[in-house]
Amino acid sequence: MELQHDRIINGLLKADIGLVTPEMVRARLAQDVAIYVGQNRADARDLWPCVWFLAAVLERQFTGRVLISAGLTEALCAPVPLGSRCEFRSGKMPECEITIFVGVKPFGNADIMILGDTRGNELSYGRLLNSSESANPINCCALAGYLGFAALARAVGIPAFRKEWCEETIRLPFTVLADSVPDFSVLGAGQVGQAFLALYYFLAAGKSVSVHLLDKDYFEICNRRTQILLAETTEKWNRKSKVEYLAEVCRGWGWNVLPEQTEIKWGWKHEVPNHPFAFLGFDNMDARRIAVEGGFQWLFECGVGTDFCQPRVTWHSIPSDRMLATHIFRDPARRKRPTSSFAKSLADSPAECGRVVFESIQASAPSLGLVAVAETWAEIMGFLAGDMDPYAGTAFVWSPFLPALREPLNNLLSTLSAL
C-alpha cells in the first residue's frame, strides 16, 4: 500500500498544513506516546475504559510505542487485546515527545503535554476535576477521542479550530447510565460501527446481549488504521467478511450474534425479532435512508468528517420516518479538490489515476469515531430514561472542548408530517 493511501496520512496531506509529502507525514507520526493515569483510577469502574480506548487509537494514529503508566502490569478486560506496541510500565518511564495525563497532574518536560479528566458526567481538558465521583464508560470513550485527536493535532501542527469558543469542561446530554442496555441491530461494521460495539461491551458490563450485525463488505489491510476491533495480526481478518469476523469477536464476549452479510436496498426489512432499535454506522447517505425504512422503532446514527482541519462529528436519534430521513440524510455537496503541491503532483500520473485514487479515499482518524459514538450512546441513555424526542447533534473535536450543537427535531418532524 502506498503511503498516501493510508487514511490518516491521506487526511493530513489533504489538510495542507505544511507536510508536503507522505514521507514527511510518516516521519512526524513515527514517535512514542506516553499515557499517565491517576493513581488507583485505572480501574474497570473508573478510568480503565478511557485507557483502553486511548491506547487503541494512539497505536493506530502513531507508529511508535504507546507506553502506559497506570499502576497496571497488564491490561484489564477489554473488547480486544491492545497491540504489541502498547506497553504497560510499572517503573520509570522513558521521556516521550508526546505525553498525555489522564486524571493526574502533569509533570516532566515533554514537548507536547496534554491533560484531560472525567468524573461523573463531566469532562475536562487542561485541568483536573474536583470531585470524588468515578468516570463512566461513555465519558471515558469521549475523553479518549478528544485526547487522541489532540495528540495527533499537536504532533503534526493542525491549527485549532474556533479556539476562541473553547471551554474547559463539557457535559454529554444524559444524567445516569441505564441499569441495562437493549439488544441492537448494528448496520455497518466499519470505523463507527466497531467503536459503537466496543463501548457497548463496556456498558453491557459482562451481561449477555443479542446483536444483529449487517454489512456487505470484506476487510482490507488499510482498515486497521481506523477500526479498533481489528487484531494486530492481519491474517485473522484481512479479506474476511466483516460481519463474520466481528461475530466471532462478539461471541467471545458471551453475546448472541446474528451476522448478515448483505447490501441493503430499497425495500429491505429487518427480520430479527425483538430488535426494535438500530445503530447506523454506514458511510453513505443512501444506505441511511434505506435503513430508516427497515422496520425499526427507533434509530441512532453518527458520522465523522474527513477534513482534519475541521474535525466534525454528527449524530441523530430519530424515529422511523421516511420524510425526516430524506431531509436530514442528504447527499453531501461535492468536496473541494485538494490543492496541496503533493495532490497536484498526482495529476501527472497516467490518466490522472493517482489523483483520482488519492481524492477518493475517505480520510479519517479513529479518535473522531470515539467522540461520535459516545455522543450517540449519550442519546441512547436519554432515550432509555424516557426522552422520546428526536435529536440532531454536531461537534468539532479540535480545538477541545468546543460546545456541541444539539437540537430537538420535534418541530421539523411535525412540519414534515403535515406536508
User: How many other CB atoms sit within 10 Å of the CB of residue 214?
Assistant: 27
Q: What is the pLDDT of residues 1-33, one digit of tens each?
A: 688 788 899 889 888 888 878 999 999 999 999
Amino acid 385 reads A
Mean pLDDT of 232-244: 94
Do residues 234 and 160 share a domain?
no
Q: Based on the structure, what is the number of domains in the chain? A: 2
Q: Is 228 exposed, middle or buried (0-12, 13-18, 19+ CB in 10 A)?
A: buried
Q: What is the pLDDT of residues 312-322, one digit of tens each?
A: 999 999 999 98
pLDDT band at 206 (very low <50, low <70, confident <90, very high): confident
Mean pLDDT of 79-92: 94
Do residues 127 and 190 share a domain?
no
120-to-77, 170, 174, 230, 391 alpha-carbon distances in Å: 21, 12, 11, 30, 23
Amino acid 353 reads C
* CATH number, residue 189: 3.40.50.720
Classify each residue of 175-186 as buried b or exposed e, where b means 16 or more C-beta atoms within 10 Å of its C-beta.
eebeeebebbbb
| Distance from C-alpha of 183 to C-alpha of 372, rounded to nearest angstrom | 20
Mean pLDDT of 178-203: 97
Do residues 162 and 227 share a domain?
no
Do residues 90 and 190 share a domain?
no
The predicted pLDDT at position 190 comes to 96
Q: Which of 109, 142, 169 is the last residue of a domain?
A: 169
Do residues 164 and 267 share a domain?
no
Q: Could you tell me if residue 143 is inside a domain?
A: yes
The predicted pLDDT at position 290 comes to 94
| Distance from C-alpha of 104 to C-alpha of 274, rounded to nearest angstrom | 44
Classify each residue of 26-38 as buried b or exposed e, where b means 16 or more C-beta atoms within 10 Å of its C-beta.
bebbebbbbbbbb
Q: Which of 113, 134, 169 is the last residue of a domain?
A: 169
**pTM for this entry:** 0.94
CA nearest 100: which of 149, 29, 64?
Answer: 149
Q: What is the pLDDT of residues 25-51, one digit of tens each?
A: 999 999 999 999 988 899 999 999 999
Do residues 209 and 68 share a domain?
no
Range of the domain at 304: 184-418
Q: Could you tell me if residue 178 is inside a domain?
A: no
The predicted pLDDT at position 372 comes to 97
The predicted pLDDT at position 261 comes to 97
Q: What is the pLDDT of residues 325-350, one digit of tens each?
A: 998 998 776 666 666 666 666 665 56
Do residues 161 and 198 share a domain?
no
Q: Which of 123, 139, 169 is the last residue of a domain?
A: 169
Dihedral sign for Cα 88, 202, 305, 186, please. positive
CA atoms within 13 A on the CB side of 115: 15
The predicted pLDDT at position 340 comes to 66
pLDDT band at 361 (very low <50, low <70, confident <90, very high): low
Do residues 159 and 283 share a domain?
no
Do residues 153 and 193 share a domain?
no
Q: What is the pLDDT of residues 111-166, one digit of tens each?
A: 999 999 999 989 999 999 999 999 999 999 999 999 999 999 999 999 999 999 99
Q: Could you tell me if residue 345 is inside a domain?
A: yes
Q: Could you tell me if residue 224 is inside a domain?
A: yes
Do residues 128 and 11 share a domain?
yes
pLDDT band at 91 (very low <50, low <70, confident <90, very high): confident
User: How many other CB atoms sit within 10 Å of the CB of residue 42?
Assistant: 24
Mean pLDDT of 387-414: 91
Q: Could you tell me if residue 175 is inside a domain?
A: no
pLDDT band at 65 (very low <50, low <70, confident <90, very high): very high
Mean pLDDT of 50-77: 96
pLDDT band at 82 (very low <50, low <70, confident <90, very high): very high
